[in-house]
Amino acid sequence: MKLFSRFKPQGGVHPDGRKDLSADRPIRVLPMPERLFVSLQQHVGAPASPVVVVGEKVLKGQLIAASQGNISAPVHAPTSGHVAAIGDYLAPHPSGLPAPTITIEPDGEDCWAALDVPIDPYALEPEEIAKRVAAAGIVGLGGAAFPSAVKLNISRKTNVQTLIINGGECEPYLTCDDRIMRERAAAIVSGIRLIQRAVGCTEALVGIEDNKPEAIAAMREAAKGTDVKVMPVPAMYPMGWDKQMTRALVGKEVPAGGRSSDIGVLVHNVATAYAVHEAVALGRPLISRLVTVSGEAVKIACNLEVPLGTPAQALFDYCGGYAGVPARLVMGGPMMGHEMPNPYIPVVKGTSGVLALTHKEIGQPVPSPCIRCSTCVRACPVGLLPLEMAAHIRVGDLNTSVDFGLKDCIACGSCSYVCPAHIPLVHYFNFAKGELAAKERAKLKQEGTKKLAEARNERMEKIARAREEASRQRAAKKAAQEAAKKAAADAAAAAAPQQEATA
């Protein structure tokens, strides 16, 4: 049955790009906001742990929270000022639940801490580069926010041969990767060379969607004379999914449950490569990022360089405020981004865009019955059957949806986007994934409880046995004593008449 789909790129949709809103706006630096709310959980893994105290003066780039455990990333002060508070604050999570945050009040000096700039960054040992990337708090800037140094170390140890730099940026509206490639191509290429050295791989491929010709030209120009190859790929969503990009560039698939390194590939985002250059060549930790501000409900769409911890509202304000009342505020792209419950959510390392969308842009479709048209099946880049998965989840049969491949779903939203019945398929899948995770946790907890209960029973039995033993011993001792007493009394009684007799 490989007659039809095997050799074609699987699935995908062509959403209305809307990139024209912001693609031609050069990067501008956002003026320092009044306060920065720097989250300690800006990455996948354990939250960073504060190393400053309230009231302490900090310099730009100074470490304010250290990484905890194997998968974690440190956090640095985005500017100079003093620590105004340490505690829970709004975080970019759709639940609106707060996260531990360090609040910094800028002093306006924007004064750098002492930076450790190597004489020749390209001569650093591979381990040293990875160490500096880890110390700079760099995480995947495409949105996944996985600590980059962890990936570098795994790839070096597994002899990865191909570095893929992801310039797909397939999400509609977002143009910050496009702009960084157009304007800072040389720094990106420098970052790519540093990653190559850190991993020890020879091949470096930059995949860029063919709807960004200026970025392709700029990157080609910057890559001249290096072994970095720029490769245009067809524009479609989700081309920026790392595994789709890998399939498009090297024709290999990452095995289910495996890592890219299993097929000798390492994937990093273009903005991550730029951050690596900043960190290793210039000694600057990751304290700002490019963010696209867009949507029909924004007056002037922009691409801004924003200090981490800036509330989204400051970005909208800089862009001239809202044009009318926005129907929905989104952090990230429209396909996979989260709704912001309010505009005061701070920018984190994984924030690629903040969008203010109108009713017309989001549409407010009412779901109708599934007509099994299978448009979702053709749209799924993973090769799943979204309609079947959703039908089983709807009636509570989560296990069958897992058999249909629920755990392989990447929640890209292609199926929901194209569904003519407007069924919120991704919502079903995320609900089911959450339920399954909760069940898994409950099961672990139950097992833990069972183990504890068993241990307790055993302990109690042991105690009871010991008690029994002790009481038996006591009884035996008592009996022995009684016997001895009796014997003594008998002996005394026996001796008394004698005494009497002798008396």
The reply on whether position 361 binds other proteins by CB under 8 A is yes
Which position among 378, 394, 398, 436 is part of the footprint of other proteins (CB under 8 A)?
378
Interface with other proteins (CB under 8 A), residue total 75
Which amino acid makes up residue 388? E
Strand partners, 209: 233
The reply on whether position 258 binds other proteins by CB under 8 A is yes
Which position among 177, 426, 432, 433 is part of the footprint of other proteins (CB under 8 A)?
426
Which position among 150, 330, 348, 354 is part of the footprint of other proteins (CB under 8 A)?
330
* 12-31: contacts with other proteins (CB under 8 A): 13, 15-16
Strand blocks (E) in 197-332: 203-209, 228-233, 265-269, 288-294, 302-307, 328-331
Q: In Å, how far are 108, 145, 357 from 310, measured between CA atoms?
A: 15, 18, 20
Report residue 167 as tokens.
Answer: 């310039």
* 162-221: contacts with other proteins (CB under 8 A): 172
The reply on whether position 417 binds other proteins by CB under 8 A is yes
Residues 245, 207 contacting (CB under 8 angstroms)? yes
Q: Which CB, 324 or 365, lies closer to other proteins?
A: 365
Strand partners, 307: 288
Q: Which residues contact 31 (CB under 8 A, 6 or more apart)?
A: 318
Q: Residue 71: is it exposed, middle or buried by C-beta count within 10 angstroms (0-12/13-18/19+)?
A: middle
The reply on whether position 120 binds other proteins by CB under 8 A is no
Residues 47, 75 contacting (CB under 8 angstroms)? no
Shortest Cβ 437–other proteins spacing (Å): 17
Q: Which CB, 26 or 363, lies closer to other proteins?
A: 363
The reply on whether position 6 binds other proteins by CB under 8 A is yes
The reply on whether position 371 binds other proteins by CB under 8 A is yes
Could you give the CA distance from residue 418 to residue 416 in angstroms, rounded to a whole number? 6
Write the binding mask 427 to 456 for other proteins: x where contact by CB under 8 A, - elsewhere.
Answer: x--x--------------------------
Which position among 27, 385, 398, 436 is part of the footprint of other proteins (CB under 8 A)?
385
**What is the three-state SS of 79-145?**
CCEEEEEEEEECCCCCCCCCEEEEEEEECCCCCECCCCCCCCHHHCCHHHHHHHHHHCCCECCCCCC
Q: Which residues contact 45 (CB under 8 A, 6 or more apart)?
A: 69, 70, 71, 72, 73, 146, 147
- Please report which helix (H) or strand (E) contains residue 28, including its range: strand 27-29
Which position among 255, 499, 501, 503 is part of the footprint of other proteins (CB under 8 A)?
255
Which position among 384, 390, 393, 432 is part of the footprint of other proteins (CB under 8 A)?
384
As a dihedral over the C-alpha atoms of residue 192, residue 198, residue 204, residue 206, rounded to 10 degrees, the angle is: -40
Which position among 71, 217, 411, 436 is part of the footprint of other proteins (CB under 8 A)?
411
Could you give the CA distance from residue 377 to residue 114 in angstroms, rounded to a whole number? 55
Of 256-264, 439-447, 463-471, 472-480, the window that binds other proteins (rule: CB under 8 A) is 256-264
Shortest Cβ 416–other proteins spacing (Å): 5
* 216-245: contacts with other proteins (CB under 8 A): 243
Which position among 53, 119, 256, 494 is part of the footprint of other proteins (CB under 8 A)?
256
- CA gyration radius for the chain? 32
Shortest Cβ 327–other proteins spacing (Å): 9
The reply on whether position 3 binds other proteins by CB under 8 A is yes
Picking from 141, 95, 99, 172, the residue whose alpha carbon sits closest to that of residue 339 is 95
The reply on whether position 357 binds other proteins by CB under 8 A is yes
* 309-328: contacts with other proteins (CB under 8 A): 328
Which amino acid makes up residue 286? L
Write the binding mask 262 to 301 for other proteins: x where contact by CB under 8 A, - elsewhere.
Answer: xx--------------------------------------
- Please report which helix (H) or strand (E) contains residue 164, including its range: strand 162-167
Of 42-50, 247-255, 312-320, 470-478, the window that binds other proteins (rule: CB under 8 A) is 247-255
Shortest Cβ 374–other proteins spacing (Å): 5
Q: In Å, how far are 441, 465, 468, 471 from 456, measured between CA atoms?
A: 22, 14, 18, 22
The reply on whether position 413 binds other proteins by CB under 8 A is yes
Shortest Cβ 4–other proteins spacing (Å): 5
The reply on whether position 394 binds other proteins by CB under 8 A is no
Backbone angles phi, psi at 475, to 5 degrees: -60, -45
Which position among 38, 335, 345, 393 is part of the footprint of other proteins (CB under 8 A)?
335
Write the binding mask 60 to 99 for other proteins: x where contact by CB under 8 A, - elsewhere.
Answer: ----------------------------------xxx---
